[in-house]
Structure 1
């Protein structure tokens, strides 16, 4: 069955996402581990991905943990440093697909506020044919509703979609719906898959 559209996750596929590395550089690995053990930053971030207000969520968490308040506020104030840099080869693949006439959709767990911050840094965020952003949809991967949004709004049949994501649970949820999937590890292996599917030539995928 031919592929009619390609779906990209964003974090760790098109841009890096490494908050642990950011705090390692600030605090050292041991203090960072203590911070993440005492403060559930990732749970707070899931709320942002579901549509909670970005700044309000981070600053409220800082108020609840005064010993870590300054560091917690960096999740808002220095967020783009955790979500950088872009992954150039992946961005080239996205653009190469579109140059061949293949629509490219984003399906991403991303907050409303954080997505707007990223758009100012990464121009390619405005180049997707459609972007399905969890904060706006109020549902996150791997919940079925977010995949359903993409299917309904694009009208592309599940078996005509090819989806790449770095998280196995997100890939499995898509596969259960009949999507073609690729677990993202490196741009090079993703490029090989796109060539194998006949979507790009080796030269276009380089």
Structure 2
């Protein structure tokens, strides 16, 4: 079985509400406010940010577009974009899960919606080649989840039939897209529950 990991919110920390609360204390007093501003900023990873994720616009352009759309100062928006790479820190329990899966003999890959500059940062800062056999970043291949084409590209890159792939992602739409292509897939909420699910599928020992 080939196991495919999403990155943000699965392997790397990503909680936009608390992220914005730390960066914008002058604008965010509660996590609820942070969630509301995150929805405006990232547009559920569609809109401006989706184009950035897909590698169709660069960092300067996404900053300009978000500032123009929201009325937030250009410098404030740029500060958020600059801070994202350092926010993407590995989640220790997921790193342990990856090591245990590799020790059990499974081949691991990744499939991540990630703008190219952030993908470059992760590739340089962390041992992705040690954790994964291969992977796809949306910003590099110019396709994005939940679109069918990036899943088709992944099947070719991973040299696998859909039924041979099991996918962990924290966004229901991406899980549904994988299931629609006959991948096995489930929603990731945390490493402990993912481990239980993998044990139940006989991919790990309890």
Shorter-normalised TM-score: what interval? Answer: 0.7 to 0.9
Aligned residues: CA RMSD: 2.5
Matched with 2:79 is 74
Distance of aligned partners of 1:67 and 1:164 in 2 relative to their CA distance in 1, 3 Å threshold = closer
User: Quick check: 1:35–1:68 contact (8 Å CA) kept in 2?
Assistant: no
User: Quick check: 1:63–1:69 contact (8 Å CA) kept in 2?
Assistant: yes
**Bigger shift: 108-117 or 53-62?**
53-62
Q: Please point out which of 13, 16, 20 is paired with 1:19.
A: 16
Secondary structure of 1:181's partner?
Answer: strand
CA positional deviation for 1:175: 0.5
Distance of aligned partners of 1:88 and 1:144 in 2 relative to their CA distance in 1, 3 Å threshold = same
Partners of 1:37 and 1:153 lie apart in 2 by 32
* Divergent runs of 4+, >6 A: none
CA positional deviation for 1:141: 0.5
Partners of 1:129 and 1:91 lie apart in 2 by 15
Where do 5+ consecutive residues of structure 2 fail to align? none
Matched with 1:130 is 134
User: Quick check: 2:2–2:165 contact (8 Å CA) kept in 1?
Assistant: yes
Matched with 1:168 is 172
CA positional deviation for 1:95: 1.6
Partners of 2:202 and 2:38 lie apart in 1 by 44
Partners of 1:101 and 1:56 lie apart in 2 by 43
Where do 5+ consecutive residues of structure 1 fail to align? none
Partners of 1:125 and 1:142 lie apart in 2 by 25
Partners of 1:35 and 1:198 lie apart in 2 by 41
User: Quick check: 2:16–2:34 contact (8 Å CA) kept in 1?
Assistant: no
Secondary structure of 2:195's partner?
Answer: helix
Matched with 2:3 is 6
Secondary structure of 2:73's partner?
Answer: helix
TM-score scaled by length of structure 2: 0.83
